[in-house]
Amino acid sequence: MRFEGIWIQRGQRLVRWHESIHGEDKSLGDEFAADYERLYMQGHLVLLVPGKNYDLDRMFFFETAAEALSFYNSDLESFECSIGDEHEPCGFDDVSLYKDRHRIATKSCPPSIPARVSNEAAKMERHCIVSKITQQNISEE
């Protein structure tokens, strides 16, 4: 797996790895690494695997299982990758929820629908395909 980004929860916001490492304050990199190690050991995370052969995954680490579940169930469109000159949305081939370092649920989400200009009112909805799995240890992947 190659990661396009690793986010950790700091208070009420998610902090991305490169924001901390490349910040003006070099101590932020050390602080991020310490938080990452602690959250990794707790094992409450969500893994996003983009579709359409986009090869960089995204990992999100949380303080509690409930916060990871809330993120898993949220609208993930703002984290969706896009490809090509037309910035075509990729969707997610796999969105996995981990609790205590065990995968407990997985789903896939189709690409979002690009906004189109129209005079007609329309309601566009995305439907994710969800499947529940038995516990799978994070170290098995």
The answer to whether the CB of 15 falls within 8 A of the CB of 39 is no
pLDDT band for position 127 (cuts 50, 70, 90): very low
pTM: 0.70
Q: Which of 18-32, 41-55, 103-117 has the highest mean pLDDT?
A: 41-55
pLDDT of residue 128: 46
Which residues span the domain enclosing 72? 3-140
Among 18, 84, 22, which residue's Cα sits nearest to residue 53?
Answer: 84
Among 53, 59, 51, which residue's Cα sits nearest to residue 111?
Answer: 51
pLDDT of residue 133: 42
Give the position of tokens 């189709």: 110
Write the pLDDT tens digit of every residue in 30-65: 777 888 889 999 999 999 988 877 667 889 999 999
Domains in the chain, number: 1
Backbone angles phi, psi at 130, to 5 degrees: -110, 140
58 contacts: CB under 8 Å, gap ≥ 6? 3, 4, 5, 6, 7, 47, 48, 50, 79
Backbone angles phi, psi at 27, to 5 degrees: -65, -20
Query: Which residues does residue 48 pair with via DSSP β-bridges, in sequence order?
Result: 58, 95
Catalogue the E-assigned strands of 11-141. 13-16, 45-50, 57-61, 82-83, 88-89, 92-99, 102-109, 129-137
